[in-house]
Chain A
Amino acid sequence: MSTGIYILAFAVLLAGLYAIVAKKNIVKIIVGLLAVDYALNLMLVLVGYRTGGTPPILVEGQTPAKLAAAAVDPLPQAMVLTSIVIGLGLTALMVALGIRLYERYGTFDTNRIRRLRG
């Protein structure tokens, strides 16, 4: 059960990696990177979850000690917030590069956009 959740999260990661390496379309590669980003964020939240946990926000009438006994881990959530922002920044830059590449080559196909040899 619990292993299943992790394995599914890893499957999303692998689907994204597959898109990045195997697909020949810039849009598909960006989509793959988004999927990898989702899977990573999910993994972080999963490792911080505790069964029956509440959000780490103090509500009225609750003592901090009670919160500490019941809430899920706030640190991975703070990390994920940063990671989501990184994902947005990367998406914006990728879209800009995609627009320019399309303007230069008239296609999203990376096999046609291949002057450089690695």
Chain B
Amino acid sequence: MSEGMTPIVKNAARLVSGFIAVFGIYIALTGHISPGGGFAGGVILAAAAVLIVLAFGRAAAERIFTPSQCHLWDAAGAGLFLAVAVIGYFSGGFFVNFIGHISKGQVGKLFSGGTILVSNLFILIKVAAGLVGAFLALSAFRRMGADAAGGAIEGGQTA
């Protein structure tokens, strides 16, 4: 099986995935003033990466993001979010909005809501990296699981 799909799909994916990724980041960063949030943004960002995995194949995609990097960013995002909670101790208690205590910003503008913006950013990193890593792991197992069926698959029927 050659890696990935046809050139048309590859080109389209190359074009579209960038826009999808930017949209995901936008959704996460404006979570506190409009619908969306870090989680939805992270899933969208992961969807852009999943598109690349599907179109170019796993080996090509792993040249851009390896599973190990995904683990690292996954853990880093979660750890940073926890760090935001712990830093709150210095401002009065666990999970206190320590930025909001200094300046809340103007309601409805990007720089408002204190730690909410920061937390959304970290959740974006965490969710996107985690899902991409999980998808890479699932992709790696695809052929092997199918082989056990003993020829139950038709060649070229893979997506």
Contacts and interface: CB of A to CB of B under 8 A. Distances in A.
A contacting B, Cβ–Cβ less than 8 Å:
yes
A102 B145 contact: yes
Interface in A1-54: none
Contacts of A100: 141, 145
A85 to B, nearest CB: 6
Contacts, number: 37
B35 A103 contact: no
Given A58-B108, A85-B39, A99-B141, A106 B149 contact: yes
A103 B148 contact: yes
Interface in A74-118: 81, 85, 88, 92, 95-96, 99-100, 102-104, 106
A116 B43 CA distance: 37
B138 A99 contact: yes
Contacts of A104: 148
B150 A60 contact: no
B141 A81 contact: no
A18 B30 CA distance: 41
Q: Indicate the size class of the contact surface on chain B.
A: 20 to 34
Contacts of A106: 148-150, 152
B148 A55 contact: no
Nearest to A92: B134
Contacts of A103: 141, 144-145, 148
Contacts of B107: 58
A57 B35 contact: yes
B35 A95 contact: no
A34 B138 CA distance: 19
Nearest to B134: A92
B37 interface: yes
B35 A96 contact: no
Given A55-B35, A81-B39, 10 more contacts: A57-B35, A58-B107, A58-B108, A92-B131, A92-B138, A96-B138, A102-B148, A103-B141, A106-B149, A106-B150
